[in-house]
Structure 1
Amino acid sequence: MSKRDYYEVLGLGKDASPDEIKKAYRKMARQYHPDVNKAADAEDKFKEAKDAYDVLSDDQKKAQYDRFGHVDPNQGMGGGQDFSGGFGDIFDMFFGGGGGGNRRNPNAPQRGNDLQYTMTIEFKEAIFGKETDIHIPRTENCDTCSGSGAKPGTKPETCGTCHGSGQQEVVQNTAFGRIVNRRVCSTCNGQGKIIKEKCGTCHGAGKVKKQRTIHIKIPAGVDDGAQLRVSGEGEGGTRGGPAGDLYVVIRVKSHEFFEREGNDVYCEVPLTFMQAALGDEIEIPTLTEKVKLKIPAGTQTDTYFRLKGKGVPHLRGFGQGDQHVKVIVMTPTNLSEDQKDLLRQFGKQSGEHTHEQNQSIFERMKRAFLGD
């Protein structure tokens, strides 16, 4: 079967610029790459586009193709091509993998893992802050071998299989040419080094488990679910890389009297019938002290009073929230007959007639639902 014209394959004219050739190929590579397109002819179209791009993107090959077409003096040009890394590398180049067959250097410094620790504190400790020590189990570099994994007096040797790259190359001859696949070296497991004499403390791992004591400062005003970052207190890095960070998640216990919403606190205080009716001055606990609160005569249940500046300190240190006091009028129970008589007399003097009042309320409700 004769080959199609390379310009036709990419949908271009012969006057196409190098940038247009590259864009056309990238578009086709995205469309027909075998890892993306599962159609029966996708692989053939991908190879056809790759062959066209290999020629038209090379000035010397393009000039030769423009002159001779597919009848090329150097036959077999495509048979010995080396797709370094195979389809994987081509896919990386066009779909964000970095391209060019590049791989992470196994001997480069690596940052340590971050750690998370959940800490439960009391309600008022969250309000006013706290300093304490916590104990964190974590992985650290072995002191005996300084993290190398080798017995003191020795050092790791460069892997003879991958020569320190951490990767092996496996060559395959396929219908698309010679493909070089890179895999993790089976001799050194991708480390690039071999430890012949292992450290007796860490047994070649270069790391050991330790219990670390860390001093924590919890700022005043921290809320439930807050997360504190302690830089450099995570697990140790490898090959000289920096340590990770420690994240302390705060859980705050509930309080028997106060409830918190943001920087404000709320509480409920009972009032007797007489206090609510006649008014009074009562003592209210706040987060720091007891204060006097004036209750005006005729106060109804569920009324809120605000104590300005008696709430939670702002986490950034600017001002405080408020305390909101909800009063609940307690209905007297277990009244004696004398007390009941006094209340009846009070009701008569106030013009309160329970039965007539209930009838009046009933009539108003009836009109509201049924209309006049």
Structure 2
Amino acid sequence: MSSCDDPFTVLGVRREASLDEVKRAYRRLAMQWHPDRNSSVAAEAEFRRVHAAYELFLDPQRMAEWQQAQTTMTDAGEPAGTVGDDCVLPLELTLEEAALGCRKDIELVDSVGCRRCCGSGKLQHDHLVPCPRCSGCGRVSRGRGGTSRCTSCAGRGYLRETDCADCAGSGYRQETRKLTVTVPAGLVDGERLRLARQAPVSATSGRETPAAGDLYLEISLAEHSLFVLHGRDLVCEVPVSVFRLLCGGQVEVPTLNGTALLELSSDPGRPFEYRLSGLGFPDRQGRHKGDLVVRLQTVVPDIVGAADAVLLERIEGRQAADLARRAPPLAAWDAQMRTRRQPSTR
């Protein structure tokens, strides 16, 4: 775990969490990210981060040193005053977005101190104003036609102090903030993108609005209609006509940024899986890519026209004349049938 990783954020626990809460969070995350249970490329690194954070909690001296280092960083130029909690939010990407990098707009909701009442939740008036609860009459309905004294104004009907209408007396209000994020290429499931001091802030009535904590965007990859990611390799199943497989030639296959031509082998064995080097998913540095693994799926036509049947019969006849070389399994089967057709001797 690097010095900038917050163990509270890594384990997803409150800063006031007990050791039992920390242990439960660790067990849950360790099971989620253990490489034996999780095949994601990020699993091993994330498991190490979780384990390192847990070890830090178990060592009071190291935890004290880490907290002191955080204080020193604040003294050295981080925003002064109270710092809000860090926040983890999910960010779903398509395979193309994750492989090539992209820009994403996300909306955050900040709770900020109300400007109108300066965070107090109350407004002071220069003159008496009608009580908003009883509309200035001093009494409120209590059902069955009766009334009772208004408790908001003690029956006086007028007030010099009222709840702030902008924040409904809470002292803070919700404001939406749009954040444009540049996502680097090569992120995979479970990895996190750290945005320093961009977490949503949460003000408390009557208190100073804290400085923003760090925002962590946890990456998830959307299911793709064509590809499945295995490590850094992309696996794609491509339907191919049985006639094309027999004749050989080229077939068009998809890639993350377009298509490519695949030359089918003329080998009699005819492999049904091809590996195209360097057309897979990139690493974080963008220097190395996995492979594109193409698995061919044979497609036999559902309908054969009369003219097609004539041609196929001719091909069948030519094959039957040299069955042992052209189709050994059919030749072996034909031999068994000939044996069974011979009359048995008793």
TM-score, normalised to structure 1, is 0.47
Aligned to 1:261: 230
- The answer as to 2:248 corresponding to 1:279 is yes
Gaps of 5+ in 1: 1-95, 97-107, 153-196, 363-372
- Determine if contact 2:323/2:330 at 8 Å carries over to the other structure: no
- The answer as to 2:251 corresponding to 1:251 is no
- Determine if contact 1:280/1:295 at 8 Å carries over to the other structure: yes
Give matches, 1:14-33, under 5 Å: none
- CA apart distance, 1:325: 1.1
Which deviations, in whole Å up to 9, do the C-alpha atoms of 1:207-230 show, x marking residues without a partner? 322111111112212223433222
- Determine if contact 1:236/1:244 at 8 Å carries over to the other structure: no
- Determine if contact 1:278/1:298 at 8 Å carries over to the other structure: no
Aligned to 1:79: none
Give matches, 1:1-372, under 5 Å: 110-144=82-116, 200=164, 201-202=166-167, 205-233=170-198, 234-236=200-202, 239=208, 241-298=210-267, 303-335=272-304, 336=306, 337-351=309-323, 357-358=332-333
Distance change (3 Å), C-alpha of 1:262 and 1:141:
farther
- CA apart distance, 1:361: 8.6
In the alignment, the residues of structure 2 paired with residue 259 and residue 301 of structure 1 have an alpha-carbon distance, to the nearest angstrom, of: 24
Which deviations, in whole Å up to 9, do the C-alpha atoms of 1:140-162 show, x marking residues without a partner? 2334466576879xxxxxxxxxx
In the alignment, the residues of structure 2 paired with residue 145 and residue 225 of structure 1 have an alpha-carbon distance, to the nearest angstrom, of: 43
- Determine if contact 1:114/1:235 at 8 Å carries over to the other structure: no
- Determine if contact 1:301/1:329 at 8 Å carries over to the other structure: no
Distance change (3 Å), C-alpha of 1:149 and 1:135:
same
- Determine if contact 1:279/1:298 at 8 Å carries over to the other structure: no
Distance change (3 Å), C-alpha of 1:330 and 1:118:
same
In the alignment, the residues of structure 1 paired with residue 89 and residue 98 of structure 2 have an alpha-carbon distance, to the nearest angstrom, of: 17
User: Any idea what SS the aligned residue of 1:229 has?
Assistant: strand
Distance change (3 Å), C-alpha of 1:113 and 1:277:
same
How many residue pairs were aligned? 214
Distance change (3 Å), C-alpha of 1:334 and 1:355:
same
Runs of 4+ aligned structure 1 residues displaced above 6 Å come to 148-152, 353-356, 359-362
- Determine if contact 1:122/1:252 at 8 Å carries over to the other structure: yes
User: Any idea what SS the aligned residue of 2:323 has?
Assistant: coil
- CA apart distance, 1:331: 3.1
- CA apart distance, 1:206: 4.7
Q: Could you say what the CA RMSD is over the residues aligned between the two structures, in angstroms?
A: 3.7
Which deviations, in whole Å up to 9, do the C-alpha atoms of 1:43-90 show, x marking residues without a partner? xxxxxxxxxxxxxxxxxxxxxxxxxxxxxxxxxxxxxxxxxxxxxxxx
In the alignment, the residues of structure 1 paired with residue 83 and residue 335 of structure 2 have an alpha-carbon distance, to the nearest angstrom, of: 78
In the alignment, the residues of structure 2 paired with residue 300 and residue 270 of structure 1 have an alpha-carbon distance, to the nearest angstrom, of: 18
In the alignment, the residues of structure 1 paired with residue 82 and residue 268 of structure 2 have an alpha-carbon distance, to the nearest angstrom, of: 67
Identity %: 26
Which deviations, in whole Å up to 9, do the C-alpha atoms of 1:100-153 show, x marking residues without a partner? xxxxxxxx954313334333333312221211322112212334466576879x
Distance change (3 Å), C-alpha of 1:249 and 1:302:
farther
- CA apart distance, 1:239: 4.4
- Determine if contact 1:116/1:248 at 8 Å carries over to the other structure: yes
- CA apart distance, 1:205: 5.0
Distance change (3 Å), C-alpha of 1:225 and 1:300:
farther
Residue identity matched to 2:281: V
In the alignment, the residues of structure 1 paired with residue 172 and residue 231 of structure 2 have an alpha-carbon distance, to the nearest angstrom, of: 43
Q: Please tell me whether Structure 1 or Structure 2 has the larger radius of gyration of its CA atoms.
A: 1
- Determine if contact 1:302/1:328 at 8 Å carries over to the other structure: no
User: Any idea what SS the aligned residue of 1:328 has?
Assistant: strand
- Determine if contact 1:276/1:299 at 8 Å carries over to the other structure: no
Which deviations, in whole Å up to 9, do the C-alpha atoms of 1:226-260 show, x marking residues without a partner? 33222212315764753222232333322222222
Gaps of 5+ in 2: 1-59, 61-79, 125-160, 338-346
